Chain A
Amino acid sequence: MNKIKTIIRKEWAQVFKNRLVLSTVLFMPLLFTAIPLGMLYATRGASGENLTSDMPPQFASLCPKGLTGSECFQVYIVNQFMILFMMTPLIIPVNIAAYSVVGEKTTRSLEPLLATPITTAELLIGKNLAAAIPAVVATWAGFFLYVIGAWILLQSPRVVAALLDPMWWIAVFIVGPLLAILSVNFALMVSSRINEPRVAEQLSVVVILPLLGLFFGQIAGLFLINRQLISLFAMVIAALDALMVYLAIRLFQRETILTRWK
């Protein structure tokens, strides 16, 4: 356990000296919190019963009872952007983890590290946690800011309750960490095989594409994110996580990494 802690502390000490990574960790959650809050602010003054005619019919039918048409519209619009809270735990770890192994390769620090009695599992767990923890903490912090902002901006407790549907709590507190694990292991897997940090980072960004599909699919009205879909998504991501962890460990071959350095 001490070795894992040592790796985490080392990674953080290095990573947070990198301005690009630090700004990503700080700026992205703030931006992704500001967007739904901005939408809330912008739709505060919306009024009129016919606003619901602009929404997909499946949402209108799901619109919580007791909400006026404008309140329902507000919930609908803000829900479009709630998916951003699932982007944060995907993007931040990519930035951290892509540098994790490749960075060690380029600075030639991986060989002395692998020469210590650390096991591959300890090393990868350390690197995983070092990349995932900041992402999850930043996501949760952003979400709490959003909750506080929603209470301040909205006068209607019914709208606040609708916006803070348990679906989004599942998304942020369960799917978020699962996505962070997926992202970290994908980035570690890529960076174990690549020699250039930027290439590793660019390849690792591929992991964001399915979530972007979800985001734009919902905006286009192709489907609607609901509790069932989020639960299903959580299960799929959990299965993918297991696969990614397995692949990351399999692909992290000490010998291959050391002898293929160029």
Chain B
Amino acid sequence: MIQTQNLTKKFGDIVAVNQLNLEVHEGEVFGFLGPNGAGKTTTVRMLTSLIAPSDGTAVVNGYTIGKDDQKIRQTVGILTESPGVYDSLSAEYNLEIYANLYEVKDVHGQVEKYLQMLGLWERRQDEAGTFSKGMKQKLAIARALLHEPRILFLDEPTAGLDPEAAHLVRDFIEELRKEGRTIFLCTHNLDEADRLCDRIGVFKSHLLVVDTPANLRSQVFGRKVVFHLRQVNEGYIAALSSEPFVKEVRAVDNKLVVTLDEPESRNPGMIRLLVEAGAEIQFVGELRHSLEDVYLQLVKQD
């Protein structure tokens, strides 16, 4: 659905986006992570034909940026960094304006559908200026969906929202995913990215890495299994270390932390080995690093 080739944007001497090569598949939620000023918003603006690239190209929904800009704008939806709603106009009229600009056939039907879906129908006649930040954000999301785009760009959709409002927005993104829409999600909220995204790209002017959250953890920290034992002794460590697939064994309190690939297939053998060595196993589990750890590690490495 989205393919970029050496996509580059320069502002004078500053390279905001440097040779971005990326592919986002149909129906996936793609998380685009990066520090402030990394060029995430610039990338979204290029992919939605708001600004032109300095170099490289991108194809969005089958249309090439720079050539088919009107068609790209017609077929994608965007939630900008700031909701940018018209405060002095009613919620309903805000949406009607955009439905007309997107040439939606059933303007009133679509406006009602999304106001209902996002829980704003009862407040439809109220001026958007009287809305809370979360309600404005929901109104902006409705605005981005009126023309039923197959690709949706969401730039920080939960930034500045209280936990309840953020939860509602995340649930709504889940609903959109179930409808098979492709979602390009820029976020600083790593927990949100972890929960929502099929794949994640970590970006800092250029793309550092792209993969599923699980694979990113494994790439950066390796996979680790934790054995909680009644008591740890050197014999158990030696037994596990003798296995060729084990990369590292560390003892922490009464736990053994084992780094290895494919723990799903190796764990039964390791459990057997420990039991034969006399260990009393209380629990076995995988040590999960947070996506934040992965992200910080990647950005620091760069």
A residues contacting B by CB (< 8 A) are 2-3, 6, 9-10, 13-14, 17-18, 107-119, 254-255, 258-259
Contacts and interface: CB of A to CB of B under 8 A. Distances in A.
A10 B89 CA distance: 9
Contact of B84 (A13, A112, A119): A112
A147 to B, nearest CB: 36
A109 B86 contact: yes
B87 A112 contact: no
B84 A14 contact: no
Contacts of B101: 3, 6, 113, 116-118
Contacts of B45: 258
Nearest to A17: B88
Interface of B: 11, 45, 48, 50-52, 70-71, 73-74, 78, 80-89, 93, 97-98, 100-103, 140, 143-144
B9 to A, nearest CB: 10
Contacts, number: 74
B97 A10 contact: yes
A14 B86 contact: yes
Contacts of B78: 112, 115
B152 to A, nearest CB: 12
25 contacts: A2-B103, A6-B100, A9-B97, A13-B88, A107-B87, A108-B80, A109-B85, A109-B86, A111-B50, A111-B81, A111-B82, A111-B84, A112-B144, A113-B84, A113-B101, A115-B78, A115-B80, A116-B98, A117-B70, A117-B71, A117-B74, A117-B102, A117-B103, A254-B50, A254-B51
Contacts of B93: 13
Contacts of A254: 50-51
B73 A117 contact: yes
Q: Which of B70, B84, B85, B101 has the most CB of A within 10 A?
A: B101
A245 B168 CA distance: 46
Contacts of A112: 78, 80, 84, 98, 140, 143-144
Describe A's contact surface by its main secondary structure. helix
B98 A258 contact: no
B104 to A, nearest CB: 11
B88 A2 contact: no
Contact of B97 (A6, A107, A110): A6
A2 B97 CA distance: 11
Q: Which of A18, A113, A116, A118 has the most CB of B within 10 A?
A: A116
A102 to B, nearest CB: 14
A117 B50 CA distance: 10
B51 A2 contact: no
B70 A119 contact: yes
A181 B96 CA distance: 28
Nearest to A10: B97
Contact of B50 (A107, A118, A258): A258
Nearest to B70: A117
Nearest to B99: A6
A118 B102 CA distance: 8
Nearest to B71: A117
B50 A116 contact: no
Contacts of B98: 112, 116
Contacts of B48: 115
B105 to A, nearest CB: 12
Contacts of B80: 108, 111-112, 115
Given A111-B50, A112-B140, A258-B45, 19 more contacts: A3-B101, A10-B86, A13-B88, A13-B93, A14-B86, A107-B84, A107-B87, A108-B81, A109-B85, A112-B80, A112-B84, A114-B50, A115-B50, A116-B102, A117-B71, A118-B101, A254-B50, A254-B51, A259-B11
A109 B207 CA distance: 30
Nearest to A3: B101
